[in-house]
């Protein structure tokens, strides 16, 4: 049974307040997960590779910090430049669409009609939709961008912020495997502590993803930890193998 208008408004307010489609962080979750996962995996790969090669803890710290900063900046800048390029492309296409609605309004109006006819609109309803959309220039151009190019402006908003989020996530999560080497621990305990802290960091990142995207709570951690440990095992194996090849002394 349909809700009364007053009840419908209350239900809508509750729906929006609950935010059932995910946390407000979901806009940044890709950058957080991408940066955090890469930071943890690449930093621990440095740790595992140097330990596998029986290099000193000082080497682990130097290579780990150098990797953390250089790769973090590179990844953050990459995200920024990629999103900025996409935003510039969106702006260019939007200007072209706006100009086309000025130069060839009948053709552009027919493109709107064809797009909504494909969605199942017919007859007077179709004509009313076309008239409503094309009555407002901004709405018309927005519709053409979405229907013709599949683009929405908000997808590429704030590239600098998203690049910074990726960098910060990389550095924060990526620093975790190095912490045992910066603490006054016995050398025999450091790699084990780094392994445990790395798994904990991967679990935290996976749980953050699951909570933010509202997916099954174990799915995110399981995927991220599995990929991270696989990369770490490869790095350790390569370090051990190259130690034997080049005869590196401990």
Q: Per-residue pLDDT averaged across 107-111, rounded?
A: 93
Task: Find the range with the poorest average confidence among 7-11, 142-146, 153-157, 246-250.
Answer: 246-250
96 found inside a domain: yes
Are the CB atoms for 60 and 181 separated by under 8 Å?
Answer: yes
Residue 80 is predicted with a pLDDT of 92
Q: Per-residue pLDDT averaged across 37-56, rounded?
A: 83
165 found inside a domain: yes
For residue 29, pLDDT beyond 80: no
Count up the domains in the chain and report the number.
1
Distance CA 197, CA 191 (A): 10
Distance CA 45, CA 64 (A): 9
Residues 136-166: tens digit of each pLDDT: 999 999 999 988 888 887 667 788 888 999 9
8 found inside a domain: no
Q: Per-residue pLDDT averaged across 77-92, rounded?
A: 90
Distance CA 114, CA 126 (A): 9
For residue 236, pLDDT beyond 60: yes
97 found inside a domain: yes
How would residue 115 be classed by pLDDT, with cut points 50, 70 and 90?
Answer: very high
| Angle between helix 29-52 and 159-174 (nearest 10) | 30
- Residue 125: domain span: 28-243
Residue 238 is predicted with a pLDDT of 75
Task: Find the range with the poorest average confidence among 2-16, 30-44, 53-67, 99-113.
Answer: 2-16
94 found inside a domain: yes
4 found inside a domain: no
5 found inside a domain: no
How would residue 22 be classed by pLDDT, with cut points 50, 70 and 90?
Answer: very low
CA angle 102, 106, 110 (to 5 degrees): 120
């Amino acid at each position: 049974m349909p809700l009364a208008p007053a009840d419908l408004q209350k239900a809508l307010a509750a729906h929006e307040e609950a935010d059932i489609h995910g946390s407000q962080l979901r806009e940044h979750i890709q950058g957080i997960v991408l940066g955090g996962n890469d930071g943890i995996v690449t930093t621990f790969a440095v740790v595992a590779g140097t330990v596998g090669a029986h290099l000193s803890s000082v080497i682990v710290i130097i290579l780990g910090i150098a990797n953390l900063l250089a790769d973090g900046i590179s990844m953050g800048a990459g995200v920024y430049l990629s999103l900025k390029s996409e935003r510039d492309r969106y702006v260019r296409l939007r200007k072209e669409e706006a100009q086309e609605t000025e130069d060839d309004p009948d053709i552009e109006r027919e493109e709107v009609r064809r797009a909504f006819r494909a969605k199942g609109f017919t007859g007077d309803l179709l004509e009313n939709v076309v008239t409503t959309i094309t009555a407002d220039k901004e709405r018309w151009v927005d519709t053409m961008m979405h229907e013709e190019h599949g683009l929405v402006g908000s997808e590429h908003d704030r590239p600098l912020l998203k690049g910074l989020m990726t960098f910060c996530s990389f550095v924060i999560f990526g620093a975790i495997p190095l912490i045992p080497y910066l603490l006054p621990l016995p050398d025999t305990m450091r790699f084990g502590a780094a392994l445990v802290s790395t798994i904990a960091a991967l679990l935290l990142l996976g749980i953050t993803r699951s909570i933010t995207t509202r997916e099954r709570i174990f799915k995110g951690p399981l995927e991220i930890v599995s990929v991270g440990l696989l990369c770490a095992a490869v790095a350790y194996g390569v370090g051990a193998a190259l130690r034997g090849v080049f005869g590196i002394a401990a």
